[in-house]
Structure 1
């Protein structure tokens, strides 16, 4: 009976998020450059702060925001393999490691300078460095970020991802000419979400899509490392404010969060896909489900975002997002010039 009641409570909010996701997918037929994920979160923000604010939706949107992003992360493991590393060669791998390190350091330093707590700046660091919303979903439990902090970080990361998605095909061609490898490295090494990377590279050509996807997958493979590192950073931050006994109690209480279940399954699926070549339809279907889970979750996040609170801190958030994005792009251009040659 309790399960039935829970499902009934979640249906209205989940249904609205699903409807927004479907509308977003249809709108990509008209405005394909934006991508369904970006449209979903923008529609969610608009509707959630105007017409769709009923308390009855809360249980369903909260479920969609939390669980569907977790399922999206898990399913990504079936779409990639560790053999991808070999296709990038040492220079491509070094580029990704340095680019991610610079992005993470920049997000943390600027976040601290702007006096955000670690729930915001670690979410921003992971979201920008790895794979947008999916990375933030993976990092959130190990850093103890609130739903509000994670939601704001996801919104910022997606908005900046949209800007870079539209800008980088032009910038890459101006700087690197018609070299698909370097244009793909710029897009795949910088743009936030998987969907945004593909949409951005598609504006150039299919060869650029292939290179950009390889670089992006390399960033996703690093997700497990990022989750573990960020959990340690958060523990250090907590230990600076608590007694040793309090920290030990907190660690014991949340030890399962050091590697969330969906990140573990992401790793298991990725290893399985690397060791045993799974049929193509499995990867295709997993990508399809992962994309839909992410789009529905982003619609729910938009519906739950308090726009007035977000705008109240607008100046700081704008400085933060633009600052991290600018450093990402400049670092990528320099590293590509130094390390990657067609």
Structure 2
């Protein structure tokens, strides 16, 4: 019965994702997932989906999104962390730490809510729409916040594609250095490839390896956010000790780990040990991108446009600041670690 209720909204999300995939093929720098959000928002602006469609749209925006993250692991190899080279890890981790720290401090200063600044922070610091997709169910972010975060990330992705190759030539960066720069400072894979291959084939190949390695940072970040959410949820109970019984069980540590992150890690491990055939990589990658497109299309369909208007320009300002922080930090760490 539940499946029947979900069918209409799920089919609508799939239809929007199909159209978005076509648009993404025409505009590869934009890509299908971002196109899905945009088309979904446009459909919602013309006529917001009614009660009959909402269960399926909710399923697409949550479960389908989580499933996409699991399948995304099939294109990663844990050995790529080593292959990317020890020199890339300080740049990746340092850039992420600077980005998340700035997201917290600057976001609070601008009066931006915790969920939105977290989404913009992980989207800028890790891997754009994929990181936002992974974090959304962990923190329970609203659809309007997800749509705003993705739109902000997309704007600065396009800026990076246009400006970074010029900046690389201006600074005299080698192919290896620019590949590391693009892999750590650009967000979505399509934009990483577009920026790095413009600079050169060698830069493009190395940037992809760094970007895939950087994607693994989703796991510790999501685990940390899950633990933080669990701790905050426990605060009301701690504030009323009289309501607790002495025999109450201790929280299960494993409950902090979302099922889809376990699946993500297991599929990445399976790919590392060779259980995922090389011939299946392309198909699985295409499937994961389409499922992310379906999920983000559903998020677009359920977007509260009034909420976006109420958010104002401050999240965009935060996105600009974080983009600058990641860019400068990546370049500075490459210089300090002699990765230039």
Counterpart check, 1:220 vs 2:218: no
Moved more, 332-341 or 264-273: 332-341
Among 78, 85, 109, the residue aligned to 1:113:
109
Counterpart check, 1:281 vs 2:279: yes
Residues 170 and 306 from structure 1, CA distance in 2 versus in 1: closer, same or farther, beyond 3 angstroms?
A: farther
Q: Distance in 1 between matches of 2:267 and 2:276?
A: 10
> Normalising by structure 1, what TM-score?
0.86
Q: Distance in 2 between matches of 1:310 and 1:282?
A: 40
Residues 119 and 255 from structure 1, CA distance in 2 versus in 1: closer, same or farther, beyond 3 angstroms?
A: farther
- Indicate if the aligned counterparts of 1:68 and 1:294 stay in contact, CA closer than 8 A: yes
- Indicate if the aligned counterparts of 2:72 and 2:288 stay in contact, CA closer than 8 A: yes
SS in 2 for 1:276: coil
Give the aligned CA root-mean-square deviation in angstroms.
3.0
Among 224, 228, 241, the residue aligned to 1:229:
224
Equivalence for 1:36: 32
Q: Structure 1, residues 220-263: CA drift from partner, whole Å, max 9, x if none?
A: 112211112223444555667773558999x9789665211111
Equivalence for 1:129: 125
Extract unaligned runs of 5+ from structure 1.
none
- Indicate if the aligned counterparts of 1:69 and 1:134 stay in contact, CA closer than 8 A: no
Q: Distance in 2 between matches of 1:148 and 1:217?
A: 28
Alignment of structure 1 residues 1-342 onto 2, 5 Å = 2=1, 6-51=2-47, 53-177=49-173, 179-235=174-230, 243-244=238-239, 258-276=256-274, 278-341=276-339
Cα deviation for residue 277 of structure 1 reads 5.8
Q: Distance in 2 between matches of 1:223 and 1:32?
A: 24
Cα deviation for residue 307 of structure 1 reads 2.0
> Normalising by structure 2, what TM-score?
0.86
Q: Distance in 2 between matches of 1:242 and 1:158?
A: 40
Q: Distance in 2 between matches of 1:22 and 1:258?
A: 34
SS in 2 for 1:89: coil
Cα deviation for residue 216 of structure 1 reads 0.9
Aligned residues: 337
